[in-house]
Structure 1
Amino acid sequence: MKIGIGSDHIGFDFKEAIKVFVEEYGHEVVDFGCHSCNAVDYPDVAFEVAKAVSEKKVERGILICGTGIGVAVAACKYPGIRAALTHDTYSAERAQLSNNAQIITMGAQIIGVEVGKKVVEAYLNSQWAGGSERKVNKIIEKEKEFFDKIKEEVSGNQCS
């Protein structure tokens, strides 16, 4: 599987360790940054990973910041993306099984690298099999409703 990974500067060291783990686990990793401990705004990286997932350049994503919250919020703003905050193996598994989350997020200041590896392993070993499909479809439909409304507003503002 091709996995997109990214972090802000706070999650840099954590990301580097997770990246090695994912590669050793047999997956291809595409690193969207950051690439050093220099300050980076987490939305920038989250949007890049979300875009890659949305465009099917990677199959799933892993995002890391201090708490995991910021990157989750940012990634979920990208159309069609469901990012789930995960800090234990159960939430990582359920992110995929119940919500078909394409991206998981973690907090480098919340959990350690060894727990992070177990979280990632649980997520990557889980496959969407339609669990909670009705609920996920409601999310997709609501998002579509908002985008259709925006399209109408934009097309109504065109000069004729």
Structure 2
Amino acid sequence: MRVILGSDHGGIHLKQELKFLLEEMGISYADEGCNCTDSVDYPDYAAPVAQKVAAGEYDLGILVCGTGIGMSIAANKVKGIRCAVVSDEFSARMSREHNNANILALGERVVGPDLAKSIVRTWLTTEFAGDRHARRVDKIAQLEG
């Protein structure tokens, strides 16, 4: 599994914590930035992560900003991306199992590091259920044109 990470200044600290988790899990990852605490624009980091996941360069992506919302909105503009903002383990599991989410968005100001790690672990280890859910995901893809 190959994962790509991205954050803005509001998510940089949580992104660092998630790198340690990925290393602990033995998962290969890349960091698309940002790597500073100066104010930056989240679409500048969400877009390249989403584009690389959509192109198949990475299997999954994780984006972090203050709330996860801005990153999610920006990522979901890229064709083929299903980015879910998650703040609990159940939603993380359902976003993969039912929606086949390929990018996870987290809010550093919403979830603490321990909960975020548990969410990411759940998200990364949950498989898409397929079956009736595949039909629904296909219908989402049709909306992209």
TM-score range, shorter-chain basis? Answer: over 0.9
**1:54-73, aligned counterparts within 5 Å?**
54-73=54-73
| 1:135 alignment counterpart | 136
Letter in 2 for 1:107: G
| 2:40 alignment counterpart | 40
Please give the TM-score of this superposition, normalised by the length of structure 2.
Answer: 0.96
Indicate the larger mover: 103-112 or 130-139: 130-139
Identity between Structure 1 and Structure 2 (%): 40
Secondary structure of the residue aligned to 1:11 is: helix
Q: Following the alignment from structure 1 to structure 2, what is the Cα–Cα distance between the partners of residues 52 and 23?
A: 21
| 1:121 alignment counterpart | 121
**Cα-Cα RMSD:** 0.9
Pick the structure with greater CA Rg: 1
Structure 1: unaligned runs, 5 residues or longer: 145-160
Deviation at 1:38, TM superposition (A): 1.8
Secondary structure of the residue aligned to 2:144 is: helix
Secondary structure of the residue aligned to 1:17 is: helix
| 2:107 alignment counterpart | 107
Return structure 1 stretches of 4+ with deviation > 3 angstroms.
none
Secondary structure of the residue aligned to 1:105 is: strand
Q: Following the alignment from structure 1 to structure 2, what is the Cα–Cα distance between the partners of residues 15 and 82?
A: 20
Which structure ranks higher in relative contact order (CA pairs < 8 Å, sequence separation ≥ 6)? 2
Please give the TM-score of this superposition, normalised by the length of structure 1.
Answer: 0.87
- Give the number of aligned pairs: 144
Deviation at 1:22, TM superposition (A): 1.1
Letter in 2 for 1:29: Y
Q: Following the alignment from structure 1 to structure 2, what is the Cα–Cα distance between the partners of residues 98 and 129?
A: 6
